[in-house]
Amino acid sequence: MANKVTGKLREESRRLFLTGEITTNSEIAARLKLKPHTVGVWRKQEDWDGLRLRIDRRAAEMLVEKIASDRMTLNVKHYRYWELVVARLADELKGKKTLGVRDLERVAGILDRAQKGQRLAKGMSITGETEEAIRAQAEADHRRLVDSFIEAVKRNVVDEETRERIGKAIAESIPEEPGTGVDLDEDEVTH
């Protein structure tokens, strides 16, 4: 019976922490009438901090996926809208025998906006640069920044243990995703 009660208290403690409702051992202990040490032991045994990090990371990933999906849907609608505008313009122009300079300027303005709108809807910049090229440039800039930081650490931190701790902290803070262009090796900082 005591194990069941303890199990339920442990589950409730974990739930309070992982949902972010309460984040300190002492607050959880006070709410559930436990000792903070007990909550701390459970937290360490089950690696609640690691679990929370994974939950937060997954929530962020899901949000990014939803934003990307919504963006794609919006881009498809945007592209179709501009197709409709251009088709309507073409229909209007078929019925006209001659166009004056002002009419030609208006048509050119509409076509220019339609072209820009369609480029944006396809994930391209207005200048024609793709989103992939923009990301590649950002990744290269990011890598240069990391490399500069590593060089500064090598030059200014004499203690090897401190360099190792800094290297681990950097490696842990940069997500390891294929294709990000950032593959930080701990040895780069320590040596």
**Over the Cα atoms of the chain, what is R_g?**
28
pLDDT at 130: 67
pLDDT at 176: 59
What is the residue-level pLDDT of the chain in tens, covering all 191 positions?
Answer: 567 778 899 999 999 999 888 889 999 999 999 999 999 999 999 999 999 888 888 888 888 888 888 878 887 888 888 888 888 888 888 877 787 888 888 888 888 888 888 777 776 666 666 667 777 888 888 888 878 888 888 888 888 888 888 877 877 776 655 554 444 444 444 44
Distance CA 112, CA 64 (A): 31
b/e per residue 56-87 (b: at least 16 CB within 10 A): eeeeeeeeeeeeeeeeeeeeeebbeebeebbe
Return the domain boundaries, the chain.
8-46, 54-129, 130-191
